[in-house]
Structure 1
């Protein structure tokens, strides 16, 4: 039999009744897929300890100047933007599983090139390759996990994508304490290699198999993941799977999730989080903290803890509530951090901007020792607020809101938007701080956080506990 419409085939994926046993292999499959986000979290966090190490490197090792250090932090986002486009193409043609397997290759090769680098161009080339893999992984992993999970745990498992990202960032920070940049790159080859091994043993998602008219394989995948086939309905016979066409954007079921998905990704980056995470150590040094490495690790631990909290309560509290709460916290924290810079560096005696690429050591003056607590509290509050909502939820919603037949293109556009915004924010953040002064840059981020809260309240639907078919029906007005 051949399913006619992939959206109509999805009653097959209805979870069994409460009396039916739940399969635990779905958690193993989600973990295997989430090793991709762990790898790209490590790639993001790698720049923070590696930039100071590469600045101190002695010939013949490559050495970064101000310009190359800026590109070292930002070029990964350009590669990720290209990876988002590639991932959107791969996920519908090669499938979710094969796409994850393929993205492990540029991860390993990229880190290997960095480890063996003899000049700056090899270092930047390796960063570009790891960025490409980041883009693919950040798209495919949420899609894979959302399609193998049943509604009761989809929020939990989907939030684990961001949890693995922040664990990867923290791992890079911790390893940067004891490893110089070459061995840190060697360590980066580990998670994608493990993902390659584990994903070989995992099935393709049942939804993708049904679009390929592979009913038996889909049922076998369901049996493997959920542990039972009892309680599933037979899917009706339907039409051929259709791809994305521009004419589809006229339909509310397509353009509404498109607008929401793109807006969520843009607001996530406009909060300034990537600028903070890429240059965590130098930001804290600019805020007059002597042990900036410890400060960065502290930030990483806070992010991991609060992302884990978000994952645990996601399916109870709901997406909209956590997004709103997260946005409000970020508004207050960015405003307070801007106020710190206004009070400590807004005087006429200090007209220079805070250069995020050159670590500075400034002795506290004029009572700024007490104000330092304002800076550290604001930063920690921002990271906690971001981790609870605007960190994991845009990626989760991206994997939930799009109909199956446009998911590849739609998620590709969202990921492209996210990484292009990340590049712009990361590359131009120091310039923005020069033009607006540090306090002005953070107050601008606060304004974007206010807009994001309003957008959540008026435009973002609640997807908690709903099947993917019910979410699609909501946008279509059914």
Structure 2
């Protein structure tokens, strides 16, 4: 149940996460469109069917755009502000869908995917940053988890649109989302933390009042609000209320104990996120369902997997501020690892000629449970935790570095994973993903502090010990 003081926090979070729905739709668009685009008889492009090389570039160029978008957004967020840089992400997203609608050859699609990547890169660094700076400690985890919930909503919608709508109608429908995002996000105030960092005390207080749903009346301001605002001023504001001088970074800002540990945690969680196999193996959904003896069509099987991912992230959102980040990550990592071992064993036995048809349900069950368990923790929580553990002075830079690393790994996985499958087999890749999940769970147990319900100040104090 949303409390009255949390209403505007939820409203703003849902609004800014419309761009996350756009990301999910863009990320899943190739999966639902490639079968048509590579068809010699029915390709919608004037240039004809796409080659395998062209399709691999269309899939992976999104990551190049994401890398550049992450850097640009991370830099601009500390100068222009979180809100306006976030609003800008709607423009390349709109243009990307327009280009798909008018596409005549692969060049249109290359540019479209690059622009979509720009918007996605900005969204993945700015949405967690924006939400973490407007949310109260008690709901910060749940609100932060909505990034992946809404992304999975976009994935599911894209799979469904690809199955039921024509090639040209899909972008005509989805262009509405970034347009709506742009028009609605501009209404909300800038985050109080950024306003404090730029010396705008009155605007910061007004912003915090909005996000705590406290009306300006003749009544006395609640003591809890006063204490929170004074605490934020102490952490992020300047003593005389004037605009702070341009931030100067020193080597010690990155090498001291707290930032060093936060970077280690961030990089480790990104590695777990990418190498759990969820993002890569979703591209092999049709193959796995076919090997299991299922008669479900490729697009319909993708819809089923999209629904499973969405269910998992919804569970994560419900539990993240109750069970805690650490507990969910441990359960998610071990559970996904066990599911991958089962799937890898089935795939290996099938590859060496064992009769596994009576156990075809194992492939579907293990793949589905892997998606569900990964979506409960491994997929959504690294973005939440990363925005919490980074020291405020280097939060934008730290998140930028980690997300650039994530986009790089994602590009390499999408572009070269088929080659690795030829070298070590699908089962070898699956066992590798399982090992990464188990190693990630051990890292979480040993090194990750619980951040549930804690202020940024408390988290920094824990990392300093």
Alignment TM-score, normalising by the size of structure 2: 0.91
Could you tell me which of 297, 300, 306 is aligned with 1:294? 300
Within a 5 Å distance, the mapping from 1:61-140 to structure 2 comes to 62-140=48-126
More divergent stretch after superposition (434-443 vs 56-65): 56-65
1:326 aligns with 2:335: no
Within a 5 Å distance, the mapping from 1:267-278 to structure 2 comes to 267-278=272-283
CA contact (8 A) 2:288 2:364 kept: no
How much has 1:333 moved relative to structure 2?
Answer: 1.1
CA contact (8 A) 1:148 1:225 kept: yes
Within a 5 Å distance, the mapping from 1:84-233 to structure 2 comes to 84-228=70-214, 229-231=221-223, 232-233=226-227
Could you tell me which of 361, 364, 388 is aligned with 1:400? 388
Counterpart in the other structure of 2:30 = 47
Describe the SS at the equivalent of 1:93. Answer: coil
1:30 aligns with 2:13: yes
How much has 1:58 moved relative to structure 2?
Answer: 5.4
CA contact (8 A) 1:48 1:279 kept: no
Give, in whole Å, the separation in 2 of the partners of 1:306 and 1:21.
27
Could you tell me which of 362, 368, 371 is aligned with 1:383? 371
Describe the SS at the equivalent of 2:450. Answer: coil
> Using a 3 Å threshold, how does the CA distance of structure 1 residues 441 and 400 change in structure 2: closer, same or farther?
same
How much has 1:188 moved relative to structure 2?
Answer: 2.6
Counterpart in the other structure of 1:248 = 253
Could you report, residue by residue, the CA deviation over 1:346-379 in whole angstroms, capped at 9, with x for unpaired residues? Answer: 24xxxxxxxxxxxxxxxxxx74432321110111
Describe the SS at the equivalent of 1:202. Answer: coil
Give, in whole Å, the separation in 2 of the partners of 1:216 and 1:194.
29
> Using a 3 Å threshold, how does the CA distance of structure 1 residues 249 and 457 change in structure 2: closer, same or farther?
same
Counterpart in the other structure of 1:16 = none
How much has 1:456 moved relative to structure 2?
Answer: 0.6
Structure 2: gaps spanning 5 or more residues: 215-220
Give, in whole Å, the separation in 2 of the partners of 1:207 and 1:445.
39
> Using a 3 Å threshold, how does the CA distance of structure 1 residues 59 and 35 change in structure 2: closer, same or farther?
closer
Counterpart in the other structure of 1:351 = none
> Using a 3 Å threshold, how does the CA distance of structure 1 residues 335 and 243 change in structure 2: closer, same or farther?
farther
CA contact (8 A) 2:44 2:167 kept: no
> Using a 3 Å threshold, how does the CA distance of structure 1 residues 248 and 345 change in structure 2: closer, same or farther?
same
Q: Of the two structures, which has the highest relative contact order with CA contacts closer than 8 Å and spacing of 6 or more?
A: 1
Runs (4+) off by over 4 Å = none
Describe the SS at the equivalent of 1:118. Answer: coil
How much has 1:92 moved relative to structure 2?
Answer: 1.1
Give, in whole Å, the separation in 1 of the partners of 2:58 and 2:288.
17
